[in-house]
Amino acid sequence: QILAVDSESGVVTILANPQVIKEKSGSVEEDTSSGPQTGHAVLGEGCAQVMGVSKRGLFSGGQSGGLWCFDLANNLNVLDSWKNDSSIASLVLSPSCNRLALGTSNGEVHVMDSTHLKTTSCAAKHGYSPIMGIDVLTPGTNHCVTCRAEGFIQVWEMERGNHISTLQLPYKCSSLVCPSSSSTAVVGTTKGSLCIVSLVDPSQPKLVLTRRMHSSAITYLRCDQYGRFMASLSHTGSVMVYKASPSTKCAVLGHTEILGDLLELSILATGQGDEDDTMFSVLSQHGSKTVITVFHIPNKSSEQVVSELCEGGTSRLSAVFTSKREFTLAEPVHGFSLLSTTHMVAMVTSTKMLAKFILPTAVVAQQKELAPHSVHSSHELAGGLTKLSLNQKLLGSIAPDGKLIMRLADNLERPLLLNCHHHSRGGCDGLAFSSDSYRVFTTGDNGTLSCWEWELTAHGNIKATQAAEFNAKHIQRLESTQTAENVALASMSPLPLQGLHAEQEEDTKQWLQHIVEETHRAEDEKYSEAKGKLRQELSSLREKAVAMIAANELLPSIEQLERKEFILDTEEHKRLQADEDAYIQKIREEIELSNLTKMYLRDKIKRECWDSMKVKGKVVKAFQSKLEVRNYALIHRREAFLNELERIKAHRKIEIAEQEVRKLASKPDPGPAVEDRGGTGEEEAEGKEQGDPDALRGSHGSRYGGECDLLRDQFELYSPVSKMQQTCLLQDCIYHIKETFNKEFDDVSKAKEAEIARIIEKNARIRKIGKDLKLSESIIEPTLDPAEQPESFLTVQDSEIKAEKYITPEEQKRLQEAALAEEKKRLAEIGDNPRERALEMMMYGRLEANAEEELFKDLARPDFMLKDPAEMTEDEIRMAKEFEKKEAAFLEEREKLKKALEAEFKKLQSSIVQSMEQFDERLHKLFELKIRTETAVLQEELKILRLALALMVEEEVAMKEEVLNQELEKKKSAKAETSSAVSSAKRHVEEYREVYDRTQAEDREMDKSFKKDFSDCEPFLEPLYKLYRKRPRGQRLKPAPSEGGFLQEAISQNSSGERPPSALLGGGGGGPRSFDDPMAELDDLSNMPEGLSLSAWERFVSARRRKVESEQKVKATALKLAEMTAFLKKRQAEDESVQSMIQDTFRQLNKLQEDKMVFDLNLEIQFLLKQGQIEVDPGEFVPDFSDSVLIHRSAVEELNSQIKSIGEAKLSIMTEAKDFKKGIYSLKWELKKLLMLEEDLIEKAKDIQMLKVTKELQHRLMDLDHSQEKDQKDIAALESALELVEKTHHNNVLEKKRILSKYQSQVEGMEEENKNKEKELLELWLQVQERKGIDKLAGLPAAEVNREKRMNEIVTRRKMVDLVKSQAQEVTVLRTEVERLRRRTFPALVQID
C-alpha cells in the first residue's frame, strides 16, 4: 500500500492498495484504455519499495526495476517512467528536487533529471554481490583485494579505505588468495577454474591466465606465508597443489584424492630454506567421521624431488614421499588452522567452543580418535573460520554471530571480542590480516568490508614493534622473488575479457581429464599393435555371433535357441546382473531408511508440537470477506509450574486471611463517630465505582476472564519474592484470558460448521429446483479451509499424491482377482433378484412418486388426435375436448409450480446470503473481541516484562554490591599491609636518625679537639689547621668488596618491598673504607711545614685521615637517611592511596545502596489512561514523563470549573462595559452632529447677510422669462460639452483598462516567479539554518560566555535521546521475543502443495 500521512492533522489517506488493484483489475484495464495510464494499473508487488516526493510528483520503484513518476493531485496518473534491468535498491532526491539518484542491486548509480526520466547517466558501477574472498596484497604494499560472487575483483587502499580499481571477470567467483611472492590475485570460480589477475599496477588490474582445475566450484584457496606453494579444494574431488609463482604459470605439482566431502584447507610453511618443507592439512567428512589429512611437500624444487613427488609418472602425489597421514577427530569441527607442525586449533560444531589439538608425530598402528587438548570459549553460533597473522602470533576467528575474536597464538585463554557485523544479516564470512598485523579486515552483512585498527597500549606498542620488525625482515627476504615475479607479470599480455564467456568455462577440459587423456594417448601409442590384434579378434568373434543369431531367427520356433544361450561370458553376465540387483537392493534400503527417518521425524514433531498441545491452533474465516480470526494455541502446562502456582495461591490466601485478621484486630470500637463517618465511606466507595477500576490495575484482563483476587496491588511489589509470585499469577491470568477467548472461538467455529451443513442442505434443494427449472445459475458452496481443520494436515489424501502409485506384480494380480470376484458377485445378485426386477418393470425403479417431476413431464396425446377432426367420431371428439381441458389444467398447474419453485429458489439463495452475512457479523464481533483480548494479554505481558526487568536490575545491583564488598575486603587487607610497612619504616628511620646524629656529633668533636691534640705545636697550629681542612680533588668513596656483596644480597632477598634494616645497609658504626691515591699526595712530606718534626707530621696525617673517614661516614649516613626518608614517604603515599581507594569504594557502596533503596521504593506502576488525560507534550519518539506529575482527575476538573466560572464572569463584565461604552459613543456622536448643524446654519445666515445685490441679479429678479431662456441655452451647451467629455472619458477608460490588463498579466507572471523564488529562498534558508546549527554544534567559540552550559545541555539531550532510543529498542526486542516464545507453543502447520 501507498499511504499519504498529513503530519499536522495525522490523517492517513490510502493512495494505492494492491488488494483493491487485484480485485478491480478488469475495471482498471477499462479505465487505462479510455484515459491516461494510472498508478493502479502499473503498481504491483515490488514496485513501491523506494519512494521520493518532489514538486513534480511521487517517484516510486523497487524490485521490478521500474521507476514511475505519479501525479498526486490527479488520481495517481503516470507522468513519466523509466525501466532498468536490475532492481532499484535506493532513491535520493537533491535538495532542489531537480535531480534524482538511483542505486541498483548490481552496484550501479544512475543520475537523472527529475523532469525527464529518460535522460539518465550511469555515475558509478560497483559490484554489490556478496564478497566471496578477501586477502592483502604482497607485503610492502598498502592494498587489499576482494572478489565478489558476480566476478568483481576490487582493489582497496588500506589506510584511507579508498576504492582504487575494479576488474569484472566474466565468471562467477567463489574464493581468492594473494601469494606474498608476487603482486597477483588468484581467483577460484564456481566452475572450477583458476584466474590469475596481475596487480603490478593496482590501478590497472589485468587478467593474464585462466586454467580449469576442478569439475566443481573451488571453495578454498590457500597459500603459505612465503608464497611458495598454493593449494585449491572443492567439496567433491581432489586437492590440487601448485607453485604460487606466476612465472611458472602456477604449474601443478600434483593432486591427492581424499575420501568424503572436503570441507576446509590449511597450509603452514615450517621455514623458507630448501631443507624445510610445507605442511598441508585437509578437513573432510567421511560418513559420520571427521578426518584431518596431513601431508608434506619439500621446499626444494629439484628435478629429482619433482619426479619422486608423484607416483609412477602420474600426477597423484606419493603418500610415502609426502608422509601422508590421517587423524580421526572425536567430534565434528570447522574453521581449523595449523599453529605448528604438532598443534592445530578448530571450532567444535556441537559445543561452539575453540579447541586445541595435538597432532601425533609418529604413525601408530591403532590410532585413537583425537580429543581436544584444551577447550576455550568462542562464538555463540556455529560456523565461521580461524586465521593466523603473517607473523604467526595472532589468531583471529569469525562466525555468523558477527563477532571477531582475537587471541594470542601462544595464549588462547585471553580473548578480545569485537562486534563487527550483525548476526541477522549473516554475520562475518571473511577475515584477513595486514602484513604488519596492525589492521584486520572483515567481510559480512551481504557485501560489507570493514577495516579495524589496534589502539595500542604500552605493551601493545612492544608487540606492534615486533610485528613491524618481522614484516620488514619478511619484505627484505622476499624482495628478490617479488621483483622477478613482477617482471614476469609485466611481460605477460592480458587476456581479452570481451571474448571470454561463462558458458565457455564449462566446455574447457579439466586439467585432470587432460592429464588422463595424455596418459591414455601415450599407452595407446605404446601398445598400439597388441590392441589392434585384439580388436581384430573381437570383431571376428562379433561377426560370428551376429551370424549365428541371424541364422537362429530363421529356424522354426521349436528349433530356436533362447537369446541367453548366445551369451559367451556367462560369468560377466552374472556379475553384471548381480551388480544391478545389489544396486537395486541398495537403493531400496536407502529409500526405506529415508522413509523410516521421515516417519521418525513425523512422529517426533507430532508428539512435541501436536500431541503436547492442549488447544491446537485454528482459524475461522469469513464467508464473504478476507477476515480471519485465530485462536490461542495453548500447551499443557508443566506439572512443576502448576505445583508452584498452587503453592503461591495457598501462600497468598494465607497472607490475605492474615491481613483481614490484623485489620479486625486493629479496628477501633464502634461508636457514634462510626455512624457519622458512614456517609463519607459510602461517598468514597461511590467515587471509586465511578472511576475506571482497571486504571490502577494497569490492564483490562479482569474484563476478559483474567480476574484473580490473589494478585497484589502494584503499590505493594517491593520484595523480589512478591515480584516473582506476581509474575507467576500474571502468567496464570494470561492463560485464563486465552482460555476464555478460546471458548468464544469454539462456539463461533461450531456455528460455522453448522451453518455450512445447513447451506449444503439448502444447496441440495437448490440443485433439484435448478435441474427441474433448467437454470444455470452458480451455487454458493462454502467449505472449510485446511487452516480451519488443522487435523487435516496430519492426514494425506489420495488426491494430494501426484505421483503414480507403484504396484508390484503380485499385488496387481491380487487386485485383479478381487475385482473379478466382486464383479461376479454383482452379476449374480443382478441376475437373480425378482424384487428389483419387478420394481424396475412396474414402477420404473421407484417406490414413491415425485409430483414435481410428474408435472414437468408432458402428457401423452392419444393417437386419434393425430387424425383430421373431420374424420373423428363423436366419442373421439368428446375425448379430445376432455384431453384439451385436462392439458390446459395441467399447464396451469405446471406454471403455478414453476413460479412457486422460482420463489423458493430465490428465497433459499437469499437465506444463504443472509445467513453468511449474519455469520460474518458475528465473526467481526469475535475479531473485535480478539483485539481487545490481545490488548489485555499484551498489557499483562508488559507487566511481566517490567517485573522481570526489576528482578534483573535487583540481581545486577546485588552482584555489584558483592563485587564492591570483595574489593573492599581486598583493599582493607592491603591497607593493613601498608600500615604495617609504614610503621616499620618509621621505626627504622628513627633508629637510623639517632645513628646519624651520633656520627655527626663525633665528627664535630674531632674538629674541636684538634687544637688540644696539637697544642705542643703552637707555632705551626694555623698552617696545620689549614692542611687539616684541606681535601683532595676528585675524592671517591669506594666500599669494601665483602660489605657491598652482603648489601646487594640483603636487598635482593627483601622481596616484600619493605625497606631493609639499617644493619643491612651498612650498620651504625660503618665499615672499612678505602680512598684513591689523591689522599697519599696530601700526605707527602713536601706538604709538611718547615720546622715541624716528623713525628708530629705523622701524628697529623693520622688525625687528618681519621677526620676524612669521619666526614665520609657522616655523608654516607646522611645519604642513607635521606634514602630511608624517601622510602618512608613512598610507603606513606601508598598508604594514603589505599585509604583513598577504600573511601572511594565506600562511597560507591553507599551510592549503590542508596540507589538500591530508591529503586526498591520507587516502584514503576502501569496505569491505563485515556488520551485526554495525558497533558505531556509528545517528543520525537515517545512522551518524556521524567518531569511529569500524576494528579487526580478531580483536581483538574475542579480547576477547569473554576476557570470556566471566572471566564464567564469576565465575559459578562466585558459585555456590560461594552454596552455602556456603546451608549457613551452614541451620545458623543449625536452631540457632534448637532454642533456641526449649528455651525452650518450660522454660516448660511452669514452668507445671506453678506450677499451683494448686483445688476445682473436685479435683472434676473425683474425679468424671469428672459432669464429662463438664457438658462436653457446655457444648459444645452453644457449638456453637449458634457457628452463630449463623457465620450472622451469613456475612450480614456478603455485605454487605461487595456494597459491595466497588460500590467496585471505582467504582475501575475512576476508574482508566480516571486513565489518560486520565495520557496527556493525558504529551502536555502532552511539549509543555511541547518548548517549553522551543525556548525554551532561542531565547535563553539572559545570566548563565548555560556559555552559550557550549552554543551552540557546538548550532551544531556543527546544522552536522553539515546536512552529513549535504547529503551524503545529494548521494548521492541522484548516484545518480539515474547511473540516468538508464544508462537513456539503451537505448531506452524503449513499445507504443502
Secondary structure class of 914 (helix, strand, coil):
helix
CA distance linking residue 370 with residue 354, whole number of Å: 15
Provide the pLDDT confidence category of residue 387 given band limits of 50, 70 and 90: very high
Select the more confidently predicted residue: 107 or 141: 141
Give the range with max mean pLDDT: 65-69, 920-924, 1381-1385: 920-924
C-alpha grid cell, residue 1258: 436685479
* pLDDT mean across residues, the chain: 80
Neighbour-count burial for 291-312, b at 16+ CB within 10 Å, e otherwise: bbbbbbbbbebeeeeeeebbee
704-715 pLDDT, tens digit per residue, is 888 888 888 888
pLDDT over 70 (residue 400): yes
CA distance linking residue 760 with residue 770, whole number of Å: 15
Strand order in the sheet with 184-189: 173-177, 184-189, 193-198, 206-212
The pLDDT value recorded for residue 1224 is 92
Q: Where are the beta strands (DSSP E) in 1020-1143?
A: 1038-1039, 1073-1074
pLDDT over 60 (residue 1058): no
The pLDDT value recorded for residue 1170 is 75
Select the more confidently predicted residue: 97 or 980: 980
Provide the pLDDT confidence category of residue 1340 given band limits of 50, 70 and 90: very low
- CA dihedral of 1154, 1157, 1161, 1162, whole degrees rounded to 10: 40
327-340 pLDDT, tens digit per residue, is 889 889 988 999 88
The pLDDT value recorded for residue 1044 is 35
The pLDDT value recorded for residue 1261 is 65
pLDDT over 60 (residue 1068): no
pLDDT over 60 (residue 861): yes
The pLDDT value recorded for residue 1000 is 86
256-270 pLDDT, tens digit per residue, is 888 888 888 999 988
The pLDDT value recorded for residue 1056 is 38
pLDDT over 60 (residue 906): yes
* Averaged pLDDT, 473-502: 82
The pLDDT value recorded for residue 1051 is 35
Provide the pLDDT confidence category of residue 746 given band limits of 50, 70 and 90: very high
The pLDDT value recorded for residue 1209 is 92
The pLDDT value recorded for residue 1039 is 41
CA of 367: how far to CAs of 360, 371, 673, in Å? 9, 12, 96
Q: Over pLDDT 70: what percentage of the chain?
A: 84
pLDDT over 60 (residue 679): no
Select the more confidently predicted residue: 367 or 203: 203
Query: 556, exposed or middle or buried, with CB in 10 Å at 0-12, 13-18, 19+?
Result: exposed
Going by C-alpha positions, the residue among 479, 411, 488, 407 that lies closest to residue 440 is 407
Select the more confidently predicted residue: 477 or 853: 477
pLDDT over 80 (residue 10): no
- CA angle 1276–1279–1282, rounded 5-degree value: 155
Q: What residues pair up with 598 in beta bridges, in sequence order?
A: none
Select the more confidently predicted residue: 100 or 123: 100
Query: 369, exposed or middle or buried, with CB in 10 Å at 0-12, 13-18, 19+?
Result: exposed
Q: What residues pair up with 230 in beta bridges, in sequence order?
A: 223, 242
For the chain, count helices (H), then strands (E).
25, 43
- Count the neighbouring beta carbons within 10 Å of the beta carbon of residue 1124: 24
The pLDDT value recorded for residue 583 is 92
pLDDT over 60 (residue 590): yes
* Averaged pLDDT, 57-63: 84
Task: Provide the 8-state DSSP code for 611.
Answer: I
pLDDT over 70 (residue 1042): no
Give the range with max mean pLDDT: 469-478, 893-902, 1050-1059: 469-478
What kind and span of H or E run contains 397?
strand 394-398
* Averaged pLDDT, 1383-1390: 53
Select the more confidently predicted residue: 353 or 18: 353
The pLDDT value recorded for residue 432 is 93
Sign of CA dihedral 85, 87, 92, 96: positive
Provide the pLDDT confidence category of residue 1392 given band limits of 50, 70 and 90: very low
pLDDT over 80 (residue 240): yes
* Averaged pLDDT, 490-510: 69
The pLDDT value recorded for residue 613 is 86
Q: Long-range contacts for 774-782 (Cβ within 8 Å, ≥24 apart)?
A: 775/905, 780/909, 780/912, 780/913, 780/916, 782/623, 782/756, 782/916
CA 410 to chain CA mean position, Å:
34
The whole-model pTM stands at: 0.50
pLDDT over 80 (residue 519): no
Task: Provide the 8-state DSSP code for 1020.
Answer: G
| Secondary structure (H, E, C), 1222-1290 | HHHHHHHHHHHHHHHHHHHHHHHHHHHHCCCCCHHHHHHHHCHHHHHHHHHHHHHHHHHHHHHHHHHHH
